[in-house]
Amino acid sequence: MPICKIINKNNLHRVWETPANIHQNSANSQRASRKFPEDFLFGTSSSAYQIEGGWNKDGKGISIWDVATHMDPSPVLDGSSGDVAADSYHLYKRDVEMMKELGLDFYRFSISWPRILPSGFSNEINQAGINYYNNLIDEMLANGISPLLTIYHWDLPHNLQKLGGWVNPIIIDYFTDYAEVLFDNFGDRVKCWITINEPQQICVGGYGSSMLAPLLNMTGIGEYLCSKNLLLAHAKAYRLYDEKYRKKQNGLIGISINGYWYEPATDSIDDKKATLDTIQFDWGQYAHPIFSKEGDYPYELKRKVYAKSAEQGFKRSRLPKLSKSEIEFIKGSSDFFGLNAYTTTLVYRNASLEGMYAVPSYLDDLGAGFTTDDSWPQGASVWLKEVPCGLTKILLEISKRYDNPPIYITENGWSTFGGLVDDDRIRYLRNYLDAVLDAIEAGSNVKLYTYWSLMDNFEWLSGYSEKFGLYEVDFADPNRTRTPRKSSFIYREIIRTKTLDFDYEPENFTGGNI
Ligand code: GBH
């Protein structure tokens, strides 16, 4: 079986140098145990709207997800909402108990902007919201778990959306005001911050399509306006922390970018070019301005959107320009590369793409088509295939492109349709951690790993149908009872021993408590 070849530090992988047919690792058995570096850290991840519930409790304002999930007809697959979700607004002590059971070093969670600033603006702070997160943070610290705080994970205050949300440049200042409230209130105890979770998903999902709130569906225009404002908002919050808070609070701050790994579908030059273009549209669009030496949008993105715009009779490129000072402002604005990495996709470019996409559109600008390999194991989410060496490759690619930054894997996880015996999640977890170790051995500077997610939660427009949790949540139970899955016991042992042991079986696992 052709498995990813692992390359040494002097020869970090480039997409066009390897064959397209990569496969997941074979069976778990008979693989030697591997040790993680002593200072490597393990955590789990979640986000406010997906777990908290309490959507209108104690003065919280309305977010774009409250609006989207309350629409009639509902855009959510099972018609559900995050009104109650896993009810972490009330059950946070149980959540911390679970973190403790797993032995996590840290827990990544996000703050609901409208719970802190109900109107979106910082002139009015909701003390009940501050109290909630103070309690959560204090409970974590009392149990030896470090908070990794995401400032924005998609639940924009509805008021700001009324003004255009991420396509109105005024968001840059309002986002920074919000971040400042968080630095002021939580920065004494929070030493690691993520400004924004997944720019591409926010912009393409929310403004360029209707895959995420606010379901704007203005492709070819919306995602590019969003992109520029988001990069500037991120950078402004970073600069604020750097200049006003870092000395006193002594923390780190960065951004989390979702990185699909892309592999050419065939060996043809066209498919290799399409693959590189896709990388630059999908995550290079955000990573290049922040992490590259030269800054600015990637050349491939600028050239393609400019050319298409001209062809289509637009007076200027639909991708807004970054000025010299904006380029400088954004460049270097992240202390680490936060990477959310789940899966791999094959890319092609050929005549069959003609007329396939609306004009103008993001996909037409990019001019690529996507496919997958039937041999890749399939998760409960349509887009999720298990391709462990795709993770090794993206880690090495980031290391190579951006001068070996510290990489924080801020999300990685597997979805099922439920059940406590989750052997496929265990296989995914082990194979992906194995892939992380391959990347570290090849010279990638990976510092930590975060499993998505601590528990089942509201999976956006897929509702509650796809389960990512190490803990199962019973959403039919008003108490939202949480039960550890088999994978919890496996992850706990990996954390306890800092060792990946492919043969470890939890003793007497009966689907009961840890
Ligand atoms: C993460 O994004 C999110 O940060 C997190 O909130 C989420 O729960 C987690 O993934 C699991 O999905 O359904 O075919 O339209 C990872 C990137 C972006 C991948 C949206 C799936 C939807 C594709 N995800 N994308 S589709």
Which residue's CA is minimally distant from atom 21 of ligand 1? 383
Atom of ligand 1 nearest to the CA of 415: 11
* In the block, residue with structure tokens 């991120």: 234
What's the gap in Å between 211 CA and the centre of ligand 1? Answer: 10
- The residue whose CA has the least distance to atom 19 of ligand 1 is 383
How many angstroms separate the CA atoms of 255 and 151, rounded? 10
Identify each DSSP E strand in 207-274 by its residue range: 252-258, 261-264
pLDDT at 2: 32
Q: Which atom of ligand 1 is nearest to the CA of 154?
A: 6
Is the CB of residue 204 less than 8 Å from the CB of residue 224?
no
Where in the sequence numbering do the catalytic residues fall? Answer: 198, 411
- What does each C-alpha distance from 366 to 247, 302, 305, 381, 491 come to in angstroms? 43, 11, 8, 24, 39
For residues 266 and 350, the answer to whether their CB atoms sit within 8 Å is no
Q: How far is the CA of 172 from the centre of ligand 1 (A)?
A: 24
The answer to whether 473 and 98 are in contact (CB under 8 A) is no
Picking from 236, 266, 265, the residue whose alpha carbon sits closest to that of residue 253 is: 236
Q: For residue 277, give the amino acid letter.
A: D
What is the C-alpha to C-alpha distance for residues 216 and 208, in angstroms, rounded to an integer?
7
Q: Which of 460, 467, 470, 473 to mutate to test the pocket of ligand 1 (most atoms within 8 A of CB)?
A: 460
DSSP codes, 107-157: EEEE--HHHHSTTSSTTS--HHHHHHHHHHHHHHHHTT-EEEEEEESS--B
**Ligand 1 centre and the CA of 314: distance in Å?**
32
Which ligand 1 atom is at minimum distance from the Cα of 212?
Answer: 20
Choosing from 65, 211, 387, 391 the residue with most ligand 1 atoms within 8 A of its CB, the one to mutate for a pocket test is 211
Q: How far apart are CA 496 and CA 509, in angstroms?
A: 18
Ligand 1 mean position, distance from CA 50 (Å)? 12
Report which ligand 1 atom has the smallest distance to the Cα of 413: 11
Beta bridge partners of 446: 407
Neighbours of 492 (CB within 10 A): 19
Does the bond joining 214 to the residue before it have cis omega, within 30 degrees of 0?
yes
Nearest to 153 by CA among 71, 209, 70, 212: 212
DSSP labels for 244-262?
IIHHHH--EEEEEEE--EE
Q: 119 CA distance to ligand 1 centroid (A)? A: 27
Pick from 459, 455, 486: which is nearest to 471 by CA?
455
> Residue-wise pLDDT tens for the chain (514 aa)?
233 443 333 333 444 444 333 334 444 457 999 999 999 999 999 999 999 999 999 999 999 999 999 999 999 999 999 999 999 999 999 999 999 999 999 999 999 999 999 999 999 999 999 999 999 999 999 999 999 999 999 999 999 999 999 999 999 999 999 999 999 999 999 999 999 999 999 999 999 999 999 999 999 999 999 999 999 999 999 999 999 999 999 999 999 999 999 999 999 999 999 999 999 999 999 999 999 999 999 999 999 999 999 999 999 999 999 999 999 999 999 999 999 999 999 999 999 999 999 999 999 999 999 999 999 999 999 999 999 999 999 999 999 999 999 999 999 999 999 999 999 999 999 999 999 999 999 999 999 999 999 999 999 999 999 999 999 999 999 999 999 999 999 999 999 999 999 999 998 787 766 6
| Bond prior to 323 in cis (omega within 30° of 0) | no
pLDDT of residue 514: 67
Q: Which atom of ligand 1 is nearest to the CA of 205?
A: 20
pLDDT at residue number 511: 75
Q: What is the pTM of this model?
A: 0.95
What is the predicted pLDDT for the residue at 508? Answer: 74
Testing ligand 1's pocket by substitution, the residue of 45, 198, 210, 425 carrying the most ligand atoms inside 8 A of its CB is 198
Ligand 1 site residues, Cβ closer than 6 angstroms: 47, 50, 197-198, 201, 205, 211, 258, 340, 342, 382-383, 411, 452, 459, 468
pLDDT at 29: 52
If one residue of 153, 207, 258 were mutated to test the ligand 1 pocket, choosing by the most ligand atoms within 8 A of its CB, it would be 258
Å from CA of 469 to ligand 1 middle: 14
Which spans in 280-339 are helix H?
285-291, 299-311, 324-330
Residue nearest to atom 15 of ligand 1 (CA): 211
Contact 52, 85 (CB under 8 A): yes
